[in-house]
């Protein structure tokens, strides 16, 4: 979309919900229209890596004064009176205690845990080209849990059908486990390999 301006409106609400500030940004003609979806590393106030979020969410946190930008990714958004560089790394301004518990069970988090890779054939695909498979089918008592859900391509999903993996002559790449702090940090390290600006924060 080079040479055209694409507007993206973001509504930023205060914690008490009584006020809202709307910032309308347009993409500069040299910027990437997908920049708002780029991954951003989130650091605690202590500089400990604690999460990954989309650039859109990171910008909202910065505009609300919850976080500050530590590194930029080279893209920027602009409006009539302000130009905002898209962050690559942000840091929370107040320390957040991170409970040692798993993330919410969701399709997004299952795909993130499994790195958008079919757990039967090993093919890496986009989120739209993957589905979730119940290792033990629901019709045979399988529950929708971290330990029984895996990312799966449509071809393998059809092949497996209503069978157990061994019945279909298939084998899981790895045993599925709950998404915990260790899993999250491992994913941060993997993603950090492709972003030099993340590496100095992934020293743990």
7-60 pLDDT, tens per residue? 444 444 444 333 333 344 554 444 455 677 788 999 999 998 888 888 889 999
The answer to whether 171 and 120 are in contact (CB under 8 A) is: yes
The answer to whether 82 and 62 are in contact (CB under 8 A) is: no
Provide the 3-class DSSP secondary structure of residue 86: strand
Residues 132 and 88 in one domain: no
Beta partners for 40? Answer: 53
Contacts (Cβ under 8 Å, ≥6 apart) of 197: 71, 72, 73, 88, 89
Neighbours of 35 (CB within 10 A): 19
pLDDT digits (tens, 9 = 90+) for 141-177: 999 999 999 999 999 999 999 999 999 999 999 999 8
Residues 70 and 46 in one domain: yes
**Residue 202: what pLDDT?**
81
Residues 21 and 70 in one domain: yes
Beta partners for 134? Answer: 149
Domain that includes residue 28, residue range: 7-99+182-199
**pTM score, two decimals?**
0.58
**How far is residue 119 from each of residues 72, 95, 133, 163, 183, measured CA to CA in Å?**
34, 36, 9, 15, 16
Residues 175 and 192 in one domain: no
Distance between CA atoms of residues 38 and 50, nearest Å: 17
Residues 64 and 145 in one domain: no
* Number of helical (H) and strand (E) elements in the chain, helices listed first: 5, 8
Of 110, 107, 8, the closest CA to residue 63 belongs to 8
Distance between CA atoms of residues 33 and 203, nearest Å: 31
Residues 117 and 158 in one domain: yes
Of 7-11, 71-75, 117-121, 187-191, the range with the lowest mean pLDDT is 7-11
State in Å, rounded, how far the first CA of the chain is from the last one. 40
The answer to whether 52 and 188 are in contact (CB under 8 A) is: yes
Examine residue 204 and state whether it is found in any structural domain, yes or no: no
The pair phi, psi for residue 33, each rounded to 5°, is -65, -15
Residues 130 and 147 in one domain: yes
Residues 46 and 80 in one domain: yes
Residues 146 and 50 in one domain: no
Residues 112 and 90 in one domain: no
pLDDT digits (tens, 9 = 90+) for 46-95: 998 888 888 889 999 999 999 999 999 887 776 656 667 889 999 999 99
Of 58-67, 91-100, 134-143, 195-204, the range with the lowest mean pLDDT is 195-204
CATH number, position 168: 1.10.30.50
Domain total in the chain: 2
Residues 94 and 112 in one domain: no
The pair phi, psi for residue 155, each rounded to 5°, is -65, -45
């Amino acid at each position: 979309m080079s040479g055209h301006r694409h507007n993206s409106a973001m509504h930023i609400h205060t914690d008490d919900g009584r006020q809202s500030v709307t910032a309308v940004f347009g993409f500069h003609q040299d910027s990437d229209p997908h920049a708002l979806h780029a991954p951003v590393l989130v650091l605690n106030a202590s500089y400990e890596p604690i999460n990954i979020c989309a650039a859109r969410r990171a910008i909202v946190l910065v505009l609300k004064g919850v976080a500050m930008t530590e590194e930029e990714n080279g893209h920027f958004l602009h409006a009539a009176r302000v130009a905002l560089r898209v962050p690559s790394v942000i840091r929370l301004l107040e320390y957040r205690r991170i409970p040692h518990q798993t993330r919410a069970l969701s399709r997004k988090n299952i795909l993130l845990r499994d790195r958008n890779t079919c757990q039967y054939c090993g093919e890496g695909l986009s989120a739209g080209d993957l589905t979730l498979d119940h290792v033990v089918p629901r019709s045979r008592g399988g529950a929708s849990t971290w330990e029984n859900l895996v990312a799966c391509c449509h071809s393998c999903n059809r092949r497996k059908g209503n069978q157990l993996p061994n019945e279909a002559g298939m084998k899981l790449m790895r045993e599925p486990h709950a998404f915990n702090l260790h899993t999250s940090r491992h994913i941060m390290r993997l993603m950090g390999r492709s972003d030099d600006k993340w590496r100095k924060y992934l020293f743990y």
